[in-house]
Structure 1
Amino acid sequence: MLLAILSGFLLATVAPAVHRQTGMNSGWVLAILPAALFLYFLSFLPAVGSGESIVISYPWVPGLDIQLSFLVDGLSLLFALLISGIGFFIVAYAGRYLEGHKDLGRFYVLILSFMASMLGLVLSDNLISLFVFWELTSITSYLLIGFNHEDATARRSALQGLFVTVGGGLALLTGLVMMAVVTGSYELSEILSSGDALRDHGWYVAIVLLVLLGCFTKSAQVPFHFWLPRAMAAPTPVSAYLHSATMVKAGVYLMARLNPSLGATDLWLILLGVFGALTMFTGVFMSIRSTGVKQVLAYSTVMALGTLTMLIGVGTDTAIMAAMAFLLAHSLYKGALFLIAGILDHEAGCKDFLQTGGLRHALPITATFAAIAALSLGGVIPMFGFVAKELLFEAVLEAPSLSGLLSLLTVASAILVVAVAAVVGIKPYWGPRVETPKTPHHEAPPAMLAGPAVLASLGLLFGVGVAMVDRGLLSAAAGAVYGSPVETYLSLWHGFNLPLMLSLLSLVLGLTIYFNWDRFRTATGFMDDLKRFGPERAYDKSMDGLVSISEWQTRVLQNGYLRYYLLTILLSTVALVTFSIARAGGLEIQMSLAGVRIQELAIVAVLLLAALVSVTTSSRLGAVASLGAVGFSVALIYVLFSAADVGITQVLVETLTVIMLVLVLFRLPGFLGLTPQALRIRDAVVALAFGVMVALLSLAASSTRFADSISEYFIRESEPSGFGRNIVNVILVDFRALDTLGEIVVLALAAVGVYAMIKLRAEDNRK
């Protein structure tokens, strides 16, 4: 399992070399890996279909009891099969679609790395590894969206997607850690078996909000939906892969995965149900108003993501089964339609539906599979999309709460979806021939047709033979999301009932809108003005605000003046320490002057006087001499308290430092009175405050003891462990060897500095 997941990264390292050796066939050669992975994951189907959940674990960070573990159940297997299966067609397709592109080798590196990241995400049983793979999908998708990095639009779209998804990822990380703290485990399998531990905890609301923020940003839920259509700046294979079966469904996957532990509450239903339904309607409404080939498909993907989120929120067994069926149906028809959009661009140069028409004669095979995929998108019998659509209507009609609102938005969305399906399945190929930017003379190569042909055909095959995916795969996936086996089953025909009537109504009204598409877009043109106040504008304003704040803090805090850096550091430290002391109720200081000898008082008096002179004198040489006096006074204190070795070190350092400072200062001009008195007073107050704080902390530390003195350990272990009778020597060279090494380095650096200054001055004198 570990090799299967990491194999994508391994192949990515040699993909450019493979491309150079195999040329135009490189797509087929590299597609062998996702095909092999599909077969490998397919081998789990018998066990998973019978209700088993397989956990595969490897030690990762044993000290923290963190395992690199993977969970294979119905949900993760469904995603793994989609990722690897569709990945096979994407890699093969890209080899011909980007044939001759100077960066095709780099594209292979990114797409294979993305595939491996998604596999790791959906199969991870450990929360830490899940989050690592989650962020890897954000990074690789950023690089894929910005693949054409010389295009400013591509760069902006990539950054937008990265900021939105990574920002949500930070919230998700917090939620995942809180989940682990509450349940006492970082393993998903253990969290999912913890019952109501999360729902009954006081952190439940915070966990739900944080996790859903990460999921909503990743899966483009309102109000974060704006980044996904912008991501269409990526090459078509990226759009087909990221935005049909993989990345944008990562948030849906995580919501489905955590449903047994976080779902079945009013908060879960309201947040997922309402936001999902709004996203569903917003996406399809924007889709029917768009004319760009990839824009229409992108907004319809937003619709699908909202539908899946809504169904997970409803949470009944019917809704969960509908979600899994819709997930599979959408991956099949949307993957096919995106790849067909690439064929239209590749062969006819079409990027807008208004530029298309009558292409069925030049592209008959493409037109056929586009029609099949569009029928599944529109939910027309006998397509698998029809099966999912019927169950969708049934689920919202039986929703335990908000049934009226969800049903209304679902029916309205279904009507518009039919119109969208007609636009993508009829408009480019039927009607009078429209002059396209390029005149197509032949069908696309087999590598580009294979994906649409197989994916669209599977949508028809699974519709006619529902049992092929019902009891084995989708029932197991629904059971994993529901938390127990589901009783709902899939069927192509449920008789004449309300969902069927609603389906027929959506077909009639949807086709009516399609035949009046131009008038519909004109009538809803006011939406273009409202977009100026939408969430994307809020994103742009927040980015502008971030730049303004950065400019301000650079101007104020990072202005290049060392004095302001020191002031900021010192004042911040004083404020934070003072706040902490106040919250703790003050400091406990035990201080007594009994036993202080006269010579010690004299040394302290000299030290204070020297320090005062160093900050008040107008002579550079006097300041250096005063600082030297401070250092030598400290050395005398060490000697008086029997720390002769430390005193000698202090004397050496002070001697070398004073010499170096004198040599440096002799080359500088004298002091200039450039600082106003008010600023000098300010600096003195800050210095005094910091000094008093450090003094009080030192006194408090010396008055508090939480453990026995370490000196007893040194005395006891000096001879048996350090093989020396001189305890000070043993401490320096054994117990505190690194500290001694640091002192030696300091002395060496000071000596090098002094030598450099002496040599430089000698050379100047010779000149």
Structure 2
Amino acid sequence: MLLAVLSGFIFALLLVPFGKVLKGKWSILLSILPLALFIFFLQKIPQVIDGAILERNQWVPQLGINLDFNLDGLSLIFALMITGVGTMVFIYTSYYLKGHVYLDRFFGFLCLFMGAMLGLVLSENLITLFLFWELTSISSFFLIGFNNEDPASRKSALIALSVTGLGGLCLLAAGLVIHGITDSFSIVDMLQSSTMMQDHSFFMAVVCLIFGAAFTKSAQFPFHFWLPGAMKAPTPVSTYLHSATMVKAGIYLLFRLSPAFSGSELWHYSLWCVGGATMVYAAFQTLFRDDLKSILAYSTVSALGILVFLIGLGTEEAMLAGLVFLLVHALYKATLFLMTGIIDHAAHTRNVSELSGLRKVMLPVAVAGFLAALSNAGIPPSFGFIGKDLIYEASLHTGVFPLISTVALVSTNVMLLFAGFLAGVRPFIGPLPTKYKDLQAGSPRLWVPTLILATLCLVIGLAPGLISNSLIAPALVALGIQDYALDLKLWHGFNTVLALSATTIGLGLGLFFLLKPSLNREEQMLKWEKYSPLAFFEGMGSLTFRFSTLWTGMVQNGYLRNYILVILLFLMALIGYGMWGNFHPKIDFTQLLDLTFYETGIMAIMLGAIVFTVFTGSRLTAVAAMGVVGYSLCLLFVFYSAPDLAMTQFAIDTLTVILFVLVLYRLPKYLPFSDSRVRVRDGIVALGFGGMITLLALGVLSDPMVSEVSEYYSANAYKLAKGKNVVNVILVDFRGMDTLVEITVLVIAALGVFGLMKLRLKSRERIR
């Protein structure tokens, strides 16, 4: 499984040098990757039925972070959706973006995203799940903003990254808190520690953090706004991300963790409320839209709300309904998105009020749209009919407000039926406008994948046994539901559920025939946008930007003196807070006064040099005086038998003095840039900081010495590093990387100084 996950990343890297070869007609060959992965996971079904497949790969075992993958019934469903729909999208893209100058780059982003999604649903470790979670956000940022010359695309990509990135931080925090409770990052261990989790004082924090991750990723209210905005992406992106992959990541997380949180009222009621509000609100929004992708976007948000709502119900029937509807939605929504792309590609418009009669020129596309709309509406014998029946059955038999739940679901499905027929049927019925008489369905690479997905909506509806025991039953086992009497079929007789389905279909069709698309109605809805969550989010962003600008103007004002002042004051406040009430050094001042003649003389020289540095009117004199202070320290190191340290300090001080002289030589004469009050302030801060450091040093000297580290280096310097000089061995072996970084910093600084010295600006380029 590790190779299956990494294959997407490997292909993305290979497209950098070889992508240009595949930019033409050969780009369809790239669909071999998702197809091969689909077949790989398909042939794992018999093994998964017998039990989950756990693959362990060590990564950072000291921290409990490993590339462990778990293929069970739940992850198998998602893996098949990712690779199956991915295959159709890859084939579709090879023609949809044919001739695009950055086609190879687009496929690279798709491969990267597919690998990240597979890693996310297969991960058995919370930290690796988080890493793949963030990789999906990053790769989707590139996909959504693919048309990077369009400001709207860039803005949509940034909003999507900001919202989902915030959720990623919540997931990381949740993983760390869970590790603190269970002492493990393993998801299996966490699920087995359900009682421990729910009894812990941090349980509420964990649940809220998980909600933050799932709700942002799966576009739940009030974080839903990023998904309609992401419709600025090319149609293959909308199809892949918003039918079967990215937006389902949050749903996967809720499904995966539900066994650990099941039974908690906080878990169930929160999901019930948020999912219910999202599905009704988003379905209502579809009544006011006339852009095909906008209609599909809000209907997607509503469908995601239904899934969250079902997980919130938490019963076995609700979980079954959620798993079936997961597949139902992936098939019909991917079909509708691909169909929309074909129409947009040919007619150059997505305005549903302008489209009609396209069945006469796009018959295969019309058939696909009609089948998808049937499944979306839950009309027999489609797969959607089975899914909708299961949803109503779950709502009727739940203990969480069954009447309210059922009414909310019926209302939502009525509006979703309207949206599905508006997108999948309306463009193809009625007379064909003259301007569209020459349109064509396009290449089979466009409509064949669309028709395949639409046909599956019908085939699985007629033969639900294809997925019943092979996919749904193992997924229920993965959710902790054992020995469930699973019986997926079209006909269950005349009952309340059938009456609810018939009511939904009747009201939905009535709404479709009575309510016509209207630009005026959409404009009326847009007047309320200023009160929307998106407006609030953008307002917070604007407020943050203004505050950052003000703060930067105050602190980062171009004066080095102010920068150092802020740093020193912050350190004084931080260290002073730590010392307050906890600092009780036992200092023997008699030992401090036991000075030799040489030490006293050097201290006098240092004090004199410091006075010269502070009060001199010449930069060069100040630099020379600072050099005297440094050399005096070198002599102290010599007196205390540290010649290596003395030589190092000598080299550093010499280099520093030379560099300062070279730089200051070209500056204008010494000018006072501050008045006496500023200098007094700086002097007080300097004395305060110096005094605090002195107290810290005295406190360290008064504490008993801990020699374990010194003894370790002394005992192992020669044994492990074959060196007799312990200090040298520490620098070049035990702390070799640290030393390398320090050397690199010095080299970069030297190159910078050299560049400044060699810089020769023309008079018009100089700042006046």
Encode CA deviations 1:533-573: one digit per residue, 9 max, x unaligned: 10110121122123223322332222222111111111111
CA distance in 2, matches of 1:523, 1:670: 71
1:513 touches 1:520 (CA, 8 Å); kept in 2?
A: no
1:317 touches 1:482 (CA, 8 Å); kept in 2?
A: no
1:192 touches 1:258 (CA, 8 Å); kept in 2?
A: yes
Match for 1:566: what amino acid? I
Match for 2:231: what amino acid? M
Structure 2 CA distance for partners of 1:534 and 1:695, relative to 1, 3 Å: same
- For 2:763, the equivalent position in structure 1 comes to none
Match for 1:501: what amino acid? A
Task: Report whether the alignment pairs 1:33 with 2:36.
Answer: no
Match for 1:323: what amino acid? G
Structure 2 CA distance for partners of 1:736 and 1:252, relative to 1, 3 Å: closer
Match for 1:35: what amino acid? L
2:290 touches 2:518 (CA, 8 Å); kept in 1?
A: no
| 3-state SS in 1 of match to 2:55 | strand
Match for 2:504: what amino acid? S
| 3-state SS in 1 of match to 2:67 | strand
Task: Report whether the alignment pairs 1:513 with 2:511.
Answer: yes
Encode CA deviations 1:167-208: one digit per residue, 9 max, x unaligned: 111111111122122212222222222232221211111111
C-alpha displacement at 1:46, in angstroms?
Answer: 1.5
| 3-state SS in 2 of match to 1:60 | strand
- For 1:672, the equivalent position in structure 2 comes to 671
Match for 1:299: what amino acid? Y
- For 1:4, the equivalent position in structure 2 comes to 4
Match for 1:285: what amino acid? F
Structure 1 residues 531-610: aligned runs within 5 Å: 531-582=529-580, 584=582, 587=585, 589-593=587-591, 596-597=594-595, 599=597, 600-610=599-609
Structure 2 CA distance for partners of 1:244 and 1:713, relative to 1, 3 Å: closer
CA distance in 2, matches of 1:651, 1:238: 61
C-alpha displacement at 1:130, in angstroms?
Answer: 1.4
- For 2:144, the equivalent position in structure 1 comes to 145
Structure 2 CA distance for partners of 1:382 and 1:151, relative to 1, 3 Å: same
1:73 touches 1:480 (CA, 8 Å); kept in 2?
A: yes
CA distance in 2, matches of 1:108, 1:743: 40
Match for 2:41: what amino acid? F
CA distance in 1, matches of 2:31, 2:748: 58
Encode CA deviations 1:135-174: one digit per residue, 9 max, x unaligned: 1111111111111112221111111111111111111111
- For 1:763, the equivalent position in structure 2 comes to none
Task: Report whether the alignment pairs 1:221 with 2:241.
Answer: no
Match for 2:360: what amino acid? H
- For 2:404, the equivalent position in structure 1 comes to 405
| 3-state SS in 1 of match to 2:453 | helix
Match for 2:427: what amino acid? P
C-alpha displacement at 1:373, in angstroms?
Answer: 0.8
CA distance in 2, matches of 1:68, 1:732: 33
Structure 2 CA distance for partners of 1:447 and 1:605, relative to 1, 3 Å: same
C-alpha displacement at 1:694, in angstroms?
Answer: 0.8
CA distance in 1, matches of 2:146, 2:32: 23
CA distance in 2, matches of 1:416, 1:3: 43
CA distance in 2, matches of 1:94, 1:536: 31
CA distance in 2, matches of 1:250, 1:755: 51
CA distance in 1, matches of 2:754, 2:34: 64
2:217 touches 2:249 (CA, 8 Å); kept in 1?
A: yes
1:376 touches 1:384 (CA, 8 Å); kept in 2?
A: yes
Task: Report whether the alignment pairs 1:279 with 2:317.
Answer: no
| 3-state SS in 1 of match to 2:223 | coil
1:656 touches 1:751 (CA, 8 Å); kept in 2?
A: no
Greater CA drift, 312-321 or 2-11: 2-11
Greater CA drift, 695-704 or 605-614: 605-614
CA distance in 1, matches of 2:99, 2:745: 59
2:268 touches 2:312 (CA, 8 Å); kept in 1?
A: yes
1:125 touches 1:189 (CA, 8 Å); kept in 2?
A: yes
2:262 touches 2:314 (CA, 8 Å); kept in 1?
A: yes
2:317 touches 2:393 (CA, 8 Å); kept in 1?
A: yes
C-alpha displacement at 1:253, in angstroms?
Answer: 0.6
2:106 touches 2:146 (CA, 8 Å); kept in 1?
A: yes
CA distance in 2, matches of 1:138, 1:210: 17
Structure 1 residues 255-270: aligned runs within 5 Å: 255-270=254-269
Structure 1's unaligned 5+ residue stretches are 761-767
Match for 2:84: what amino acid? G
CA distance in 2, matches of 1:720, 1:461: 72
Greater CA drift, 378-387 or 541-550: 541-550
Match for 1:8: what amino acid? G
CA distance in 2, matches of 1:33, 1:737: 43
- For 1:694, the equivalent position in structure 2 comes to 693
| 3-state SS in 1 of match to 2:243 | coil
Greater CA drift, 114-123 or 644-653: 644-653
CA distance in 2, matches of 1:714, 1:259: 50
Match for 1:102: what amino acid? V
Match for 2:39: what amino acid? L
Structure 1 residues 369-384: aligned runs within 5 Å: 369-384=368-383
1:278 touches 1:306 (CA, 8 Å); kept in 2?
A: yes
Greater CA drift, 713-722 or 552-561: 713-722
Using the size of structure 1 for normalisation, the TM-score is: 0.90
Match for 2:611: what amino acid? L
Structure 2 CA distance for partners of 1:739 and 1:180, relative to 1, 3 Å: closer
C-alpha displacement at 1:632, in angstroms?
Answer: 4.2
- For 1:417, the equivalent position in structure 2 comes to 416
C-alpha displacement at 1:127, in angstroms?
Answer: 1.7
Encode CA deviations 1:639-683: one digit per residue, 9 max, x unaligned: 443445545665666566557656766665553333111111110
Match for 1:59: what amino acid? Q
CA distance in 2, matches of 1:294, 1:385: 21
CA distance in 2, matches of 1:520, 1:728: 80
C-alpha displacement at 1:430, in angstroms?
Answer: 1.1
1:656 touches 1:754 (CA, 8 Å); kept in 2?
A: no
CA distance in 2, matches of 1:241, 1:749: 45
CA distance in 2, matches of 1:213, 1:537: 20
C-alpha displacement at 1:752, in angstroms?
Answer: 12
Greater CA drift, 125-134 or 669-678: 669-678
2:64 touches 2:184 (CA, 8 Å); kept in 1?
A: no
Matched length: 758
1:19 touches 1:26 (CA, 8 Å); kept in 2?
A: no
C-alpha displacement at 1:90, in angstroms?
Answer: 0.8
- For 1:161, the equivalent position in structure 2 comes to 160
| 3-state SS in 2 of match to 1:71 | strand
1:157 touches 1:230 (CA, 8 Å); kept in 2?
A: yes
Structure 2's unaligned 5+ residue stretches are 760-768
C-alpha displacement at 1:274, in angstroms?
Answer: 0.6
CA distance in 2, matches of 1:180, 1:432: 63
CA distance in 2, matches of 1:536, 1:755: 50
Task: Report whether the alignment pairs 1:359 with 2:361.
Answer: no
Task: Report whether the alignment pairs 1:76 with 2:86.
Answer: no
C-alpha displacement at 1:37, in angstroms?
Answer: 1.2
CA distance in 2, matches of 1:35, 1:169: 29
1:619 touches 1:671 (CA, 8 Å); kept in 2?
A: yes
Encode CA deviations 1:215-266: one digit per residue, 9 max, x unaligned: 1111100001011011111111111111101111011011111111123211
C-alpha displacement at 1:6, in angstroms?
Answer: 1.6
Task: Report whether the alignment pairs 1:458 with 2:461.
Answer: no
- For 1:765, the equivalent position in structure 2 comes to none
CA distance in 2, matches of 1:451, 1:468: 20
User: 2:490 is matched with which residue: 489, 492, 515?
Assistant: 492
C-alpha displacement at 1:585, in angstroms?
Answer: 5.5
| 3-state SS in 1 of match to 2:57 | strand
C-alpha displacement at 1:609, in angstroms?
Answer: 3.9
C-alpha displacement at 1:312, in angstroms?
Answer: 0.9
Greater CA drift, 283-292 or 592-601: 592-601
Encode CA deviations 1:449-495: one digit per residue, 9 max, x unaligned: 22221211111111121222112211211232345453453232222
Structure 2 CA distance for partners of 1:441 and 1:618, relative to 1, 3 Å: closer
Greater CA drift, 717-726 or 224-233: 717-726
- For 1:90, the equivalent position in structure 2 comes to 89
Task: Report whether the alignment pairs 1:476 with 2:480.
Answer: no
C-alpha displacement at 1:20, in angstroms?
Answer: 5.0
1:83 touches 1:115 (CA, 8 Å); kept in 2?
A: yes
Task: Report whether the alignment pairs 1:179 with 2:171.
Answer: no
CA distance in 1, matches of 2:29, 2:624: 76
CA distance in 2, matches of 1:242, 1:74: 22
